Each structure stands twice: as C-alpha cells, then as structure tokens.
Amino acid sequence: MKLTLHAYCHSVYCWIARLALAAKGVAFEYVEINPFTDKSWTRHPFGKVPLLETPKGDLFETAALTRFVDEALPGPALMPEAPFERARVHQIVSLMDAEGCRPLVHPIAAEGYFRRRAGGRPDPATVEAGLAAAPRLLEVLETLLPRQGLAGTGQLSLADIHAAPMIDYALLAPESAGLLAPYPALADWFATVSTHDAFKATRPDLPPLDVAVS
C-alpha cells in the first residue's frame, strides 16, 4: 500500500506516527512540513501535522492514524487481543491526548527545551506550572503503563507508542531531571521502551542542552 506521511521533524505527534510505522516495519514516503511556518499547508483542515495520505484518502488525528497503521498493514500487532486490554490501550492513548501533551509537551518541553534551543529564555513560572501538573498524570501512568505493550510480548503497543515520545520530550527540559524518580515502574517501562529499535530509529535528533538549572 502506498503511504505518504506529511510530518514535521520536531513534532511529538509526528514522532508517534513515525514510531507506529517503524514498529510495523512498513515503508512509506515522507514529506517534511513545518506547520508553524508553511502557510501553504492547507491539506489538513486545521493546518496541523501529521497527515497520512493513503489510497483510500487522507487520515489525520494521530490516534486514528496509528490505529489504521496497525490494523491495515502487515507486521507485529500493536494492540492486544482481549477486550479489556484493548480498552486499556485506548484509555492510555486518550489519556495522553487529553492530559499528557499538556503538561509534558506544552509547557515543559516547549518552554524548557525548545525555547532555549531557539535562543530564547524560558519563563520559569510556565515550566514550574507544567512540572507541578505532571505528577497527577505520572501517578496514573505508574499504575497503567508498565502493564501494557512490552510487558510480556517484547512488542510495542499503541499505548507505548503514544506515551513514550511525550515523556521523552518532557525529559528534554533541564528542569525535568528526576521527573520519573518517584515512579519506579514507569521509569523502568520508559527505559525499556527507549531501547526498542523502532524508538531509537525514529527519535528526533534533539541533543541535550548544556544548561544547569537549580
């Protein structure tokens, strides 16, 4: 099946889409779009990425896109078979969209990492607010995530694929050192996912910042 992914190299949602495609081991064409600067990008009705061009039409909304990738393409299954476990994966994907992207990506990664990378100075109060909001989510993930996907199968699940990039992005901010320390099961889960070939192969090139924070 011919697939073309329209995506931006620094977007966490685009990483999730690329990670799902890599976990399945399928080939696709890649078109780089910076949705923040490319005003001619109107193929997505809200000017966002990722968008997957398929023979049946365009798919946007990352959770729908990765679900299609899993169900329509060959390769290892990214969803468990049993209804309750499937629901758990949906639950985590939904949770990451509703409660994870904010605060982990906005504001922690956006302010603490990307603003500095662009030569700016982060607003400490904004990063602090993100770090103050994160524990509620991380506590919930501590109980939910380690039981999914990799546990017992050696494969990534769509839950792992949706959650790990957002956590990785939060950890880019120098202020996030120790973010996972109170959550040992989550930290173990993240360490395991981070060594997965598909994760390493798709991780955006975002080197650590040489910044000391108190």
Ligand X SMILES: N[C@@H](CCC(=O)N[C@@H](CS)C(=O)NCC(=O)O)C(=O)O
Cα 166 from Cα 102, distance rounded (Å): 9
Residues 57-86 that bind ligand X (CB under 6 A): 60-62
Least distance in angstroms from the C-beta of 19 to ligand X: 13
162 in Cβ contact with 63 (< 8 Å): yes
23 in Cβ contact with 212 (< 8 Å): no
Q: Which is nearer to ligand X, 78 or 146 (CB)?
A: 78
With CB under 6 A as the contact rule, the residue among 6, 13, 110, 169 that binds ligand X is 13
The pattern of x and - marking residues 35 through 54 that bind ligand X according to CB under 6 A reads: xx----------xxx-----
Identify the three-state secondary structure at position 32: strand
Least distance in angstroms from the C-beta of 98 to ligand X: 10
Q: Which is nearer to ligand X, 35 or 130 (CB)?
A: 35
34: part of which helix (H) or strand (E)?
Answer: none
20: part of which helix (H) or strand (E)?
Answer: helix 12-24
For 38, how many CA atoms within 13 A lie in the half-sphere containing its CB? 17
Q: Which is nearer to ligand X, 105 or 146 (CB)?
A: 105
Q: Which is nearer to ligand X, 46 or 84 (CB)?
A: 46
Nearest residue to ligand X on Cβ basis: 48
Q: Which is nearer to ligand X, 146 or 163 (CB)?
A: 163
Paired sense of beta strands 51-54 and 57-60, if any: antiparallel
Please give the residue ranges that form the binding site for ligand X (CB under 6 A): 11-13, 35-36, 47-49, 60-62
